[in-house]
Copies of this chain bind each other. A is one copy, B any other.
């Protein structure tokens, strides 16, 4: 008997989503070993590239969808690897501005290739239409869950 087939409430959707995201992370971790990166560390690089140099930490964290303190340690790692630099914001001395180093830019290009190839590969069994429908469902569910989360926090 495999209880992954058991249903609690209307579906075991959340159970399956948990498994899927953990397994996806493991695939990414394997895929990024070439650069000493992980699932958690490629996102700051890519999002910083997309947001542009001079982005603040809080904005980068928001873009990635993690909390500020979660980003701090990832940045420490990436700075230690020489891929990102922190610099002072002359207009606000509380803030730090982030920049990719030249080495960081090289890695970002490889990240884009790697993630694109991997997603294309893993999503190849599915039609664009099907993916779009699921993405739309996930987005609606996210906003429902997020509403419940915000209510819970109060």
**Taking the complex as formed, is A73 at the interface, i.e. its CB lies under 8 A from any CB of chain B?**
no
**Taking the complex as formed, is A31 at the interface, i.e. its CB lies under 8 A from any CB of chain B?**
yes
Q: How many copies does the complex hold?
A: 2
Contacting pair A152 B26 (CB below 8 A)? yes
Contacting pair B138 A13 (CB below 8 A)? yes
**Taking the complex as formed, is A106 at the interface, i.e. its CB lies under 8 A from any CB of chain B?**
no
Contacting pair A135 B12 (CB below 8 A)? yes
The answer for the CA separation of A134 and B128 in the assembled complex, in Å, is 14
B residues in contact with A18, CB < 8 Å? 21, 65
**Taking the complex as formed, is A87 at the interface, i.e. its CB lies under 8 A from any CB of chain B?**
no
Q: Is the interface of A mostly helix, strand, loop or mixed?
A: helix
Contacting pair B11 A119 (CB below 8 A)? yes
**Taking the complex as formed, is A72 at the interface, i.e. its CB lies under 8 A from any CB of chain B?**
no
Tell me which residues from 82 to 140 in chain A have a Cβ below 8 Å from any Cβ of chain B. 112, 115-123, 125-126, 128, 130-135, 137-140
B residues in contact with A63, CB < 8 Å? 2-4
